[in-house]
């Protein structure tokens, strides 16, 4: 019985802590350009820092010659120079992607991991809405059949997010 009471108290404290935080949800229009529905949730952890988790999926099969299927998961950390969701930020992020691409007679299938350093700027367009262009530079490791086949420097993230800040 005391364990249950402690668990309930702990959960209540967690909920109370989360209520004080600001949360934002966003979507990246660059992913929408390749018809990949996506979403990201971002939580401020203090006066200058946020953490985010994003995901996108593209389950498209155009015909027997052309197909793109991908699933990405991307956690991120951002340091905001003024306050969260306003102005310039620097960040770091990693991403996992599972993909299948058919183009004419070529097939590319595998997993990829990337990591990069990000810069962006949040443009406030109303009390709750922002536009956030951002870019990340880093490296990508492509893995096919369980074997790393390539590692190369790359733009690991490029986007223009439409963001809604929930207060």
Mean predicted confidence (pLDDT) in 153-159: 93
Nearest 5°: the CA angle 67, 142, 135 is 85
pLDDT tens digits, one per residue of 87-123:
999 999 999 999 888 888 888 888 999 999 999 999 9
Rounded Cα distance between 95 and 131, Å, is 22
Instruction: Name the band, by pLDDT with cuts 50, 70 and 90, for residue 59.
Output: confident
Strand 106-124 relative to strand 23-28, pairing: unpaired
- Higher-confidence position of 19 and 53: 53
pLDDT tens digits, one per residue of 19-33:
446 899 999 999 898
126 Ramachandran zone, left/alpha/beta (phi>0; psi -120 to 50): beta
**What is residue 64's three-state secondary structure?**
coil
Domains and CATH numbers, the chain: 22-166 (2.40.160.20)
- The rounded mean pLDDT for the chain is 86
| pTM, entire model | 0.79
């Amino acid at each position: 019985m005391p364990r249950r009471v402690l668990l309930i108290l702990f959960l209540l404290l967690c909920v109370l802590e989360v209520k004080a935080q600001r949360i934002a949800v966003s979507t990246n229009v660059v992913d929408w350009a390749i018809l990949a529905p996506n979403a990201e949730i971002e939580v401020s952890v203090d006066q200058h820092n946020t953490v985010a988790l994003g995901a996108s999926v593209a389950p498209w099969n155009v015909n027997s010659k052309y197909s793109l299927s991908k699933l990405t998961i991307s956690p991120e950390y951002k340091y905001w120079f003024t306050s969260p969701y306003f102005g310039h930020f620097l960040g770091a992020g990693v991403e996992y992607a599972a993909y299948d691409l058919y183009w004419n007679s070529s097939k590319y299938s595998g997993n990829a991991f990337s990591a990069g350093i990000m810069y962006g700027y949040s443009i406030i367009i109303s009390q709750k809405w922002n536009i956030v262009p951002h870019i990340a530079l880093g490296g990508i490791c492509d893995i096919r059949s369980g074997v790393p086949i390539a590692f190369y420097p790359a733009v690991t993230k490029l986007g223009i997010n439409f963001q809604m800040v929930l207060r």
